[in-house]
Amino acid sequence: MPIPGNLLTTAMAVMPHKDTDRALQTTLSLDIPFWPQLPLMNYYEDMYVQAAEHFPGILLDVQNQTLRFSMDRFMEEFGETMAKFDQPDYFDISPDYSAVYHAFLKLDLSERPAIRGQLEGPISFGFNILDQDDRPILFDDTIRAFLLEFMAKRINVQLSRLKAKNDNAFMFVDEPGLQFVFSALSGYDDFKARQDLEAFFAMVERPRGIHLCGNPDWDLLLNLDLDILSLDVFSNGERFVSYASSIKRFLERGGVIVWGQVPTNVEPFANESLDSMTKQLEFLWDALEKKGIDKAWLLSRSLLSPATCCLVNPDGTATVEKAFETIKSLSQRLRRKYDLEV
């Protein structure tokens, strides 16, 4: 089983650290490590900037930390991009765009149960990058079709690099913007999102899945051809488990759920305890069991993680690192209780 379960630990990639070694040490403390994204250290480490590397038409201003798109520049650069479309290295993240990624690739990760990478997904990228008319490039049919193929290539190249370090590597496609698709956005709706995501994942190699911290239409995500789904159940758990029939079908297809349970913001973290977070998780699992999902089977297909990333805490990295320690303690407690294999 390429993606393990049994309540092993992982986390989302964006972290508030400004030191590569400290950030890597923190991610390596979890069962399934990943290369962290550190936008406070360097603007190139921002998830949108990393996804934008070599995308034709991009206007990157590192000094002012802005990322835009120009159609005129897209037309100028498109030919060069297509000339390199069959060169895998062109689609990998370069050392300039992530020193952390390349430091991660130098580590011996062969003995880990799995490792993970990530890239910003095409829906969120296309929604957040604005063109010369202040319009999201997601709304342009021609650009969107190219964007899907471009990002699929980038994900596949990174996954190949990670699999060389560990056979059980997998990828998160980070899609925080999906929750906005289901609001009244002009020019792009959930029907188009479903079509585009189905076409996109048909080009993405396995194992692959989606991570997001928001609260979208879970039916859409659970019925995509994904291997793993990562979400914030601390905030959205009760709504998520109301989709029990879709969750069951997702698990039956071999899917894995990452239960994001430990908050990383200062105040919510301070208001919780190991007991309260355990109780909340088990409440969700009990609710699913009452709807016909065997708990032992569910846990065999489950991982644990912090609930969200966080860059704005007044204590910098302190609460985030405490959340990483807490998710390990929560995992150990629950694994003992349910007699799960190491």
Q: How far apart are the first and last CA of the chain?
A: 14
Contact (CB, 8 A) for 175 and 208:
no
What's the rounded Cα separation, in Å, for the pair 17 and 328? 19
Whether 342 shows a pLDDT value over 70: the answer reads no
Whether 1 shows a pLDDT value over 80: the answer reads no
Q: What's the confidence (pLDDT) of residue 184?
A: 54
Contact (CB, 8 A) for 92 and 10:
no
pLDDT per position as a tens digit, 237-291: 999 999 999 999 999 999 999 999 999 999 999 999 999 999 999 999 999 999 9
Percent of the chain with pLDDT over 90: 92
Q: Give the number of other Cβ atoms within 10 Å of residue 238's Cβ.
A: 12
Q: Which of 154, 155, 162, 158 is nearest to 115 (CA)?
A: 162
Contact (CB, 8 A) for 228 and 258:
yes
Enumerate domains of the chain plus CATH numbers: 8-337 (3.20.20)
The 8-class DSSP code of residue 169 comes to -
Distances (CA, A) of 120 to 60, 77, 303: 16, 22, 21
